[in-house]
């Protein structure tokens, strides 16, 4: 059983937990430093990136989690989680920080505000197609040389990556947890299982 934490300070926690349970993983809600013990991987959910960043600092989770990421723990960030993993936030607030681990440049709300939310099919090559739910989603505008693009989307202004991987780190612009499709989470768990061998 894969022990996967879901950062549970703010955002789509319940939905990620349910998806992990459907896939046979053992999810753990992470609210305190002690909750990190023994995890095989972690999901940082969608929500509000500056609020999650503030709560990571005040809870004492920021530094231990930074160390675990730097040491190679598998982490999957969706929406706000992607922003928190990114090396560059192009339009962040003055007080905004990130773990600076996934070599991408992102623009917060790059696909528009809440009123501009949309859902489109996202093609993940021979893996299949998943529903892509974009809600105040970050746009990936640049990727480093070690980042693999698993899926892209053209929202009328050219292709932009929406699902990427760099080693043990995964980032997703959309919200796979808000649908019944488990493919994206399954890809992360498969990679996590490989890393545990």
Which of 143, 172, 177, 185 is catalytic? The answer is 177
Backbone angles phi, psi at 41, to 5 degrees: -170, 175
Answer whether 97's CB lies under 8 Å from 107's CB: no
Distances (CA, A) of 111 to 4, 97, 118, 162: 29, 21, 9, 11
Q: Is 153 a catalytic residue?
A: no
- Rounded to 5 degrees, φ, ψ at 59 are -80, -10
Residue 143 falls in the annotated catalytic set? no
Instruction: Tell me which residue has tokens 């305190």.
Output: 32
Catalytic residue, candidates 16, 153, 160, 175: 175
Both structure tokens of 30: 């992470």
Look up 185 and say whether it is catalytic: no
Strand order in the sheet with 159-166: 26-30, 3-7, 41-44, 75-78, 169-172, 159-166, 148-154
Cβ count near 110 (within 10 Å): 18
Q: Is 13 exposed, middle or buried (0-12, 13-18, 19+ CB in 10 A)?
A: buried
> What's CA 20's distance to the chain center, in Å?
14
Structure tokens at 80: 């706000």
Q: Catalytic one among 16, 79, 143, 153?
A: 79
Q: Which residues are catalytic?
A: 79, 175, 177
């Amino acid at each position: 059983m894969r022990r996967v934490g879901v950062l549970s300070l703010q955002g789509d926690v319940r939905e990620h937990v349910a998806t992990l349970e459907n896939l046979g993983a053992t999810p753990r809600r992470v609210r305190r430093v002690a909750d990190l013990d023994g995890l095989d991987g972690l999901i940082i959910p969608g929500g509000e990136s500056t609020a999650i960043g503030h709560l990571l600092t005040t809870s004492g989770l920021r530094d231990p989690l930074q160390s675990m990421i730097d040491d190679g723990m598998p982490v999957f960030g969706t929406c706000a989680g992607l922003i928190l993993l990114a090396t560059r936030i192009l339009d962040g607030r003055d007080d905004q920080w990130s773990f600076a681990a996934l070599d991408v440049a992102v623009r917060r709300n790059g696909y528009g505000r809440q009123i501009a939310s949309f859902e489109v099919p996202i093609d993940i090559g021979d893996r299949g197609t998943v529903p892509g739910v974009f809600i105040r989603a970050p746009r990936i505008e640049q990727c480093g040389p070690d980042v693999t693009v698993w899926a892209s989307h053209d929202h009328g202004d050219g292709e932009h990556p929406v699902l990427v991987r760099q080693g043990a780190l995964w980032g997703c612009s959309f919200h796979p947890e808000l649908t019944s499709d488990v493919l994206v989470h399954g890809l992360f768990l498969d990679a996590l299982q490989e890393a545990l061998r």
